[in-house]
Amino acid sequence: MKNIEAIVFDIQKFSVHDGPGIRTLIFMKGCPLTCIWCSNPESQSTTPELTYMGDKCIRCNKCLEVCPNHAISVEENRLVHNKDLCQLCGKCVEVCYAEARKMLGMVVDVNYIIKEIEKDTLFYRNSGGGVTFGGGEPVLYPDFISAVSAECHSEDIPVAIETCGFTFWRNFKKILDNIDLVMFDIKHMDPKTHKELCGHSNQLILNNLKRLSQRNDIEVVVRVPIIPGLNDSKDNISNTIKFVASLRGNIKRVELLPYHKFGESKYERLGRKYPLKGLKIPSDEHMQNIKRTMEGYGLNIQIGG
């Protein structure tokens, strides 16, 4: 087997989300979009990052002692991390007994991931589960995903991917022959607004979904994050469901994913400002209204993934 490498920031076992049955979730590091509501900011960069959880810190100051570049200092009785000086050597992580510091992102090869997947084969077969690649964006690593997925299929392990859809079609083509389920995001229908919210126009994304929906050998679930005041207007909801309904093809259902604040603390740990501070989560009533609107187009609509 060709031993291709990729960057992964987490491997989550025994998940009952992001696909049927019990699953192993493999989170790829790196994403071409910069959605301002992203709940996994640690997934955006393709390089390893250092995270610091101040609530776990016991102030032993071992990190200060071992940092070769003096990237950690004390200001106003708290530890401050200077990213410009840090070279991500990981020495501060090694001596952090309280596990307040953690390196996010590691280079892995196909053999390593296959071994991790094979540990849970029994759970897949008993539950109808499998492997899901998320992120970040899995299609940033088409050769890696293709190689792992082919090996999974050789052992009758189903494979799913979660994708923002922003990639060249040739990258999708590399992986689709060994993918059973694609969970595909639609974040906004207006290309200009999409660029403002996510960093790029949606033209490539929508074109890819059109082509994907015509593949009869793959199930497609369209996912729509509902972000209050940003993409939940009547016009955008209507335009979204009209577009999806026009495709039909092999689209199994539409999942409405209500905005949540689970990722807010992650920004602080990475030393970043959370861009949607104070934004309220959508009410159950609001989500039900959106669901009813979309059901009017004859599609299977579900709240949550």
Domain CATH code at residue 288: 3.20.20.70
Together in a domain, 79 and 12? no
- Among residues 81, 103, 125, the one where a domain terminates is 103
Together in a domain, 125 and 96? no
Identify which of 243, 258, 234, 129 has the alpha carbon closest to the alpha carbon of residue 181.
129
The count of structural domains within the chain is 2
Range of the domain at 60: 49-103
Together in a domain, 109 and 60? no
- Among residues 68, 86, 103, the one where a domain terminates is 103
Together in a domain, 111 and 242? yes
Together in a domain, 124 and 192? yes
Together in a domain, 136 and 226? yes
Tokens encoding 238: 């209507």
Per-residue pLDDT of the chain in tens (305 residues, 90 and over written 9): 568 999 999 999 998 889 999 999 999 999 999 999 999 999 999 988 888 988 899 999 999 999 999 999 988 878 888 888 988 888 999 999 899 999 999 999 999 999 999 999 998 988 999 999 998 999 999 999 999 999 999 999 999 999 999 999 999 999 999 999 999 999 999 999 999 999 999 999 999 999 999 998 899 999 999 999 999 999 999 999 999 999 977 788 999 999 999 889 899 888 889 999 999 999 999 999 999 999 999 999 999 98
Identify which of 244, 237, 242 has the alpha carbon closest to the alpha carbon of residue 286.
237
DSSP letters for 69-106: T--EEEETTEEEE-TTT-----HHHHT-TT--EEEE-E
Together in a domain, 297 and 199? yes
Q: What is the pTM of this model?
A: 0.90
For the domain that residue 77 is a member of, what is the CATH number?
Answer: 3.30.70.20
Together in a domain, 34 and 82? no
Together in a domain, 90 and 224? no
Are the CB atoms for 304 and 183 separated by under 8 Å?
Answer: no
Together in a domain, 161 and 257? yes
Phi, psi of 217 (to 5 degrees): -95, 5
- Among residues 103, 127, 143, the one where a domain terminates is 103
Distance, CA of 71 to CA of 26 (rounded, Å): 31
Sign of the torsion formed by the C-alpha atoms of 288, 294, 297 and 298:
negative
Together in a domain, 42 and 56? no
Together in a domain, 193 and 276? yes
Cis status, amide bond into 136, omega within 30 of 0:
yes
One-letter amino acid of 253: R
